[in-house]
Amino acid sequence: MAHEVSYRLWLKKDGHFLLSEGRARLLRLIKEHGSLSKAAEEMKMSYRHAWGAVKKIEDALGTKIVYSERGGQEGGTTSLTPEGERLLAQYENQQRVFEDHLKKLYRRPAIATDGIVVIDDKLLLIRRGKEPFKGKYALPGGIVEYGETVERCVIREVEEETGLRTRILDLVGVYSDPERDPRGHFISVAFRLAFVGGQLRSGDDAAAVKLFDLSDLPKLAFDHDQIVSDFLSMLGRS
């Protein structure tokens, strides 16, 4: 099961909420269009709602952040005051700092597992339901969760994706090429597993699940062709 990291950044003053991404985007659009009504329209909110959000920021900040000028064919303009410009710049700067920190924090290899299950001389494969390699067949497996062993992970992932319960027989190998996964550097620990129960069904990220004859396998995603080749070599069938 793949996981994504998400966050919400809040800017406050003296405990009072000023900006999150929604309000910051409203200020960006006001700055871009020179119009509160156009900014509200692009954000799919009413003018009244947008004006209310601006007033809440001004009340919490204690100063004006937009300046409106009426008249003209376009019905007037709205621009950010110098304080509004500073507030938006402060939020965007903090956002860049936080995102840079996240990139450094997560710029390290992730650990994953892949399971090889053979039943009646047929290899268990899943058809991927998501990118990368959506629609391609692959070995069942996934990312190790925090606090989880690789052994527990491969058993859990195989059951979640295929409905089958398994036990580990032996280690096939460790695959650590930084280019093996287009999403980033994933190190996979591949195991040979024995089928012990359950009903074959697709689940989690698998669009389909199928048993293939070992002599007639499809082209596999990632480096799973290599993993299977190494497995067959272990059996003396390469």
Quick one: pLDDT at residue 3?
47
**What does the pLDDT average to over 22-42?**
94
pLDDT number for residue 211: 97
Question: Domain-by-domain residue ranges, the chain?
Answer: 11-106, 110-234
SS3 content of the chain, % helix, strand, coil (to 5): 35, 30, 35
Q: Is the dihedral of CA 82, 88, 91, 92 positive or negative?
A: negative
pLDDT at position 1, please? 44
Closest CA to 173 of 133, 137, 226, 124: 226
Q: Angle CA(118)–CA(121)–CA(122) in degrees, nearest 5?
A: 60
144: nearest Cα among 199, 191, 105: 191
How far, in Å, CA of 151 to CA of 157, rounded?
A: 10
- Helix (H) or strand (E) holding 77, with range, is strand 77-80
Render pLDDT for 98-137 as a digit per residue (tens, 0 to 9).
Answer: 888 777 766 788 999 999 999 999 999 999 998 999 999 9
* Residue 191 pLDDT exceeds 80: yes
Give Cα separations from 150 to 7, 12, 52, 159, 192 (angstroms). 27, 42, 52, 14, 13
Rounded to whole angstroms, the Cα distance separating 216 from 208 reads 18
The top-level CATH class assigned to 110-234 is: alpha beta
Mind listing the pLDDT tens digit for each residue in 34-82?
Answer: 999 999 999 999 999 999 999 999 999 999 999 988 754 455 799 999 9
The CATH number that domain 11-106 falls under is 1.10.10.10
- The reported pTM is 0.58
**Average per-residue pLDDT for the chain:** 90
